[in-house]
Chain A
Amino acid sequence: MPFGAKNLDMYNKVNNSSKMNKTKSFQNILMNLQSYWIEQGCVLLQPYDSEVGAGTFHPGTVLRVLGPDPIWKAAYIQPCRRPTDGRYGENPNRLQHYYQFQVIIQPSPDDIQELYLDSLNAIGLNTKDHDIRFVEDDWESPTLGASGLGWEIWCDGMEISQFTYFQQVGGIEVNPVASEITYGLERLAMFIQKVENVYDLDWDGIEKTKGGKNYGDIFLQQEQEFSTYNFEKSNSSILLEHFNNAEKECISLLKDKDNPLCLPAYDHCIKASHVFNLLDARGVISVSERQSYILRVRNMARSCCLAWIEKSNNE
């Protein structure tokens, strides 16, 4: 498969026998987004290899925007787990596992909105053909102690991306301010492919009779099984233990003030956060307990951020 956007056009001309324009398949939308942001000078990272609730959790965002190095540009796809959003594969729009494409650029460029709009053009969504709107949506992650101001971006009334100017992470001021763009890949692809059910999304642009796969072929069983697991089968006492262990480990890895292990510690913070989400989906966390769990994760995140800053200042 060719990787450059230009080559891709040629590739599609040759392969016009497929059931649809290949540039509109899920995997090509992703590839074109990656190519576009590489061209803007981003480091192309891969997903973080642990369960996260949002692309923001990737250390490539949370930790990198802190510390003395003022310049950081990265892009990556990140599978996200939202256990409570599971619908046993029966809801056309909601998934407990979905993909975000994340772009983080520090300092925020003056033309970041234009860069974003161009990225839509690069994936076959001609912004001049549609009604694109920047609608106020301030963002806050209580578990990360992070917040920012920005918009959700509407295309003909559908939210296709989230745009945030990071003001704080781990309760620490982000300076210079970074801009974060998060594309909901399924939403975006549904819009581009004009599909109303996520499971009908064309993944590869290959005809079904020739072995082509759609989103449902790949993920339906996963959604069904994980919904059952998240809501009915997960073992709460094991999960609780996981949470406590992850917290313990996180704290202990930061103990050595001369050489705190920031990244392994943060890895455990992420794990704790996911376990909390699982417990929440299982319905075993009461309203008053909820707050204290969130606070515990936030404290872990903050300690990791502080250690990261301290360590990178000393380098």
Chain B
Amino acid sequence: MSKIDAQKGDLLVEFFSEEIPARLQVGSGEQLENLFVKKLVSRELSFDSCKTYTGPRHLAIIIRDIDLVQKDQLVEKRGPRLGSDEKAINGFLKSNNISLSDTIVKKTNNGDFYFYSQNIFGKNTAKILPDIINEIIFDFLWSKSQRWAYSDLKWARPLRNILILLNDEPVEGEIRIGKNTFLNFTNFSFGHRHHNQKIIVKSINQYEDLLKNNNVIIDRETRKNKILSDIDLLLNNKQLNLKQDNSLLDEITGLVEFPNVMLGTIDNEFMSLPPEVLSTAMKVHQKYFTIFDNKKKLAPKFIFVSNALTEKNRNIRITEGNQRVLRARLSDASFFWKVDTSNSLDYFNKKLKKVLFYDGLGSIFDKTIRLAKISDFFASFFNLDPSLAKEAALLSKADLASEMVGEFPELQGIMGGYYSKINGTISDISIAISEHYKPKGLSDELPKSNLGAVKFRSNVISD
């Protein structure tokens, strides 16, 4: 083994694009790693470890101790059968640029053949990288991707820069984006939009810190933990607690490069709305965290995570802006609440007669009638009053016609529970209505009441 074979170094590749949807980022990091591993292994390039980084605009991988020169490869090519005519043999020799003395004859199960073992000398990794990157780009699968300008290449959002450093040296090369359009490899990246600066990366070991100094926390876990610890700091000593929400946390981690956690206030006039309404309006439209007080009651506060760099006046301005948007959202919700609570569940059920459930299966109202029959049947197994089960079933879908559920489909059932209570329906039925979609997914609670459980079962069957 020559000296140079033993040489190893680190590789940094960063794809910089316009903002990638938050929900695609984690998967893209995993995919990048898998593709790199596959491409490196197939080219006899060994390495020690990989780490990927994903953020709104940066998708990067650092590969440690990769061979700087490919290992020599012995490729065995099978030629014609021993005793083939001269034309075939000469063809084989010519195509490999060899003479007969370079070949050997080997026995196989199918007879004796000419073989040629070609020793392919390993190339410098820097020379192979352009091919690898091009293959990775074109093999990369986004669940949704787009073209831009003249590109044939599809990426989740337009790809603007590719930074490559091998052993801290820039790598020459380019990728083909479309007809006559290429993107050259560079040795720079970009920091936070606030400064919008090109930053030249000279050392792979300093990559994370360099980006951090330019207000991009490139490591996803670090970013997520900063959000959580900043929330703790903010709520500390205030007798307030965060409503944990991992999916929201993950999404927000994908929406910010440099999280700036802030606390906003919900206007008192909205605090009489059901907590689920407040919480859902904040989460779905605004991506705000819900806050509880020490008695586990929803507090008139919310947490939001800004991507703007922290500065006192800017923070105040941004907080006011967010509070204003929330007021508009909650005014809408209050309006829906007012309209809905002035109507009866029977009124909603009438509207459901006009809403198609599924072609050939009638309206949603027709479905509730089937549901009622099934609930009636099941009730006896659980020692429940069949008439209660029937009535709960008949009212269970009414809220689908309400304004609130029209705006926030995730509140189905819950609103029905509230509205039926206001309508004076007996509480067992209200609870059953509000619980009958439970569990929504594997991590949700099961219905607490037996009536609710029966309704859930019936729901499954009637679908």
Contact = CB atoms under 8 A, between A and B. Distances in A.
B318 A131 contact: yes
Contacts of B144: 138, 149
Interface stretch (A153-161, A216-224, A262-270, A273-281): A153-161
A158 B326 CA distance: 9
Interface in B281-302: 286
Contacts of A113: 18
Contacts of B23: 136
B451 to A, nearest CB: 31
Contact of B354 (A107, A129, A149, A286): A286
Interface in A176-193: 176-177, 179, 191
A158 B328 CA distance: 10
Nearest to B309: A128
B308 A92 contact: no
B194 interface: yes
B308 A131 contact: yes
B317 A177 contact: no
Q: How large is the interface on B (under 10, 10 to 19, 20 to 34, 35 or more residues)?
A: 35 or more
A214 B150 CA distance: 44
B18 A134 contact: yes
Interface in B302-320: 304, 306-308, 314, 317-318, 320
A108 B321 contact: no
Interface in B141-187: 144-151, 156-158, 160
A157 B317 contact: no
B148 A132 contact: no
Interface string B335-368: 1000000000000000000111001000000000
Nearest to B319: A156
A90 B189 CA distance: 50
B426 interface: no
Interface in A126-142: 128-136, 138
B272 interface: no
A287 B149 contact: no
Contacts of B19: 134-136, 151
B198 interface: no
Contacts of B326: 157
A196 B149 contact: no
Interface in A91-148: 91-93, 107-110, 113-114, 117, 128-136, 138, 148
A129 B317 contact: yes
Nearest to B24: A136
Contacts of B148: 108, 165, 177, 179
A91 B150 contact: no
A167 interface: yes
Question: For A110, A130, A132, A133, which residue has the most chain B Cβ atoms within 10 angstroms?
Answer: A133
Given A156-B325, A191-B321, A129 B307 contact: no
B277 to A, nearest CB: 17
Contact of A177 (B18, B149, B255): B149
A7 interface: no
A3 to B, nearest CB: 29
B77 interface: no
A284 to B, nearest CB: 11
Contacts of A117: 193
B208 interface: no
Contacts of B331: 92-93
B24 to A, nearest CB: 8
A237 interface: no
Contacts of B335: 91
B322 A156 contact: yes
A137 B401 CA distance: 26
A288 interface: yes
B157 A157 contact: no
B146 A130 contact: no
Contacts of A177: 146-151
Contacts of B308: 130-132
Contacts of A158: 321, 324-325
B318 A156 contact: yes
A148 B147 CA distance: 10
A136 B286 CA distance: 13
B35 interface: no
Nearest to B355: A287
B321 A157 contact: yes
A136 B21 contact: yes
Given A93-B328, A131-B318, A157-B326, A288 B304 contact: no
B196 interface: yes
B410 interface: no
B196 A156 contact: no
B219 interface: no
Contacts of A6: none
B194 to A, nearest CB: 6
Contacts of B40: none
Given A92-B331, A114-B196, A287-B356, A131 B306 contact: yes
B160 A132 contact: no
B149 A176 contact: yes
A167 B149 CA distance: 10
B37 interface: no
Contact of A157 (B56, B314, B322, B356): B322
A103 B326 CA distance: 29
Nearest to A138: B144
A13 interface: no
B318 A149 contact: no
Contacts of B193: 117, 132
Contacts of B322: 156-157
A110 B151 CA distance: 11
B22 interface: yes
Contacts of A138: 144
Interface of B: 18-19, 21-23, 56, 144-151, 156-158, 160, 193-194, 196, 255, 260, 286, 304, 306-308, 314, 317-318, 320-322, 324-328, 331-332, 335, 354-356, 359
Interface of A: 91-93, 107-110, 113-114, 117, 128-136, 138, 148-149, 151, 155-158, 165, 167, 175-177, 179, 191, 194, 196, 286-288
When A and B form their complex, which 10 residue pairs have the shortest distance between CB atoms, in order from nearest? A156-B321, A136-B21, A134-B19, A131-B308, A107-B149, A157-B322, A149-B146, A287-B356, A131-B306, A157-B325
22 contacts: A93-B328, A93-B332, A109-B149, A130-B318, A131-B307, A131-B321, A133-B307, A138-B144, A156-B321, A156-B325, A157-B286, A157-B304, A165-B148, A167-B146, A175-B147, A176-B149, A177-B146, A191-B321, A196-B324, A196-B327, A287-B354, A288-B356
